[in-house]
Amino acid sequence: MKLFVATFVVASALTEGSAADRQWNDLQDRRAAFGVKLREMDLDRFADRFDEYVEKGVSKINLNRIGVEECANVWGLDFEEEDDFNPETATPCEYARKVGRSYLRYAQKFLCLDGYQRDGAMKKRITRRFNKVILFAKSQKICTEE
């Protein structure tokens, strides 16, 4: 929980009102709502471990390089993927995968890669971390029973 609060404080340093800031807040809200849903289902251990995996992924994103104006080297995701995700009807596995994919898309859309000598390595590191979030969710017993 301490990591979550620390991440929120760092995220609050982002420019107020920017598209990146609004989407970050949406991500954090979705993540918190998912944690509440898991705890209501008595899946506290899954909630804690899932949050640890997400936090490790978030730690790989340099939040100071999010939404940088006049960035010459971006990841290259310019569109917003729309889907028919409904948190009320989603299974815990669907919800977990959605959270993991959403953080990855956020980094792909807003992370400025200027100044990284090996921007390909940074992309791989972030992608790998959030793929671990998704794979963790898929490997859980409740997901294999679906």
Q: Is the pLDDT reported for residue 88 higher than 90?
A: no
pLDDT at 15 over 90: no
44 CB-near residues (< 8 Å, 6+ apart) = 38
Which has the higher per-residue pLDDT, 6 or 31?
A: 31
For residues 86 and 33, what is the distance between their CA atoms, to the nearest angstrom? Answer: 12
- For the chain, give every domain's residue range: 42-144
Beta carbons within 10 angstroms of residue 75's beta carbon: 19
Q: Are 123 and 76 in contact (CB under 8 A)?
A: no
pLDDT over 60 at 16, yes or no: no
Query: What pTM, to 2 d.p., does this model score?
Result: 0.80
Task: Name the CA dihedral angle for 2, 97, 99, 101, rounded to a multiple of 10 degrees.
Answer: 120
Structure tokens at 5: 């609060």
pLDDT of residue 81: 62
**Could you tell me which residue, 136 or 5, shows the higher pLDDT?**
136
Tens-digit pLDDT profile for residues 23-80: 999 999 999 999 999 999 999 999 999 999 999 999 999 888 888 888 877 776 655 6
Supply the pLDDT for residue 65.
86
pLDDT of residue 101: 92
- According to DSSP, residue 74 is labeled B
pLDDT digits (tens, 9 = 90+) for 98-129: 999 999 999 988 888 887 777 678 889 999 99
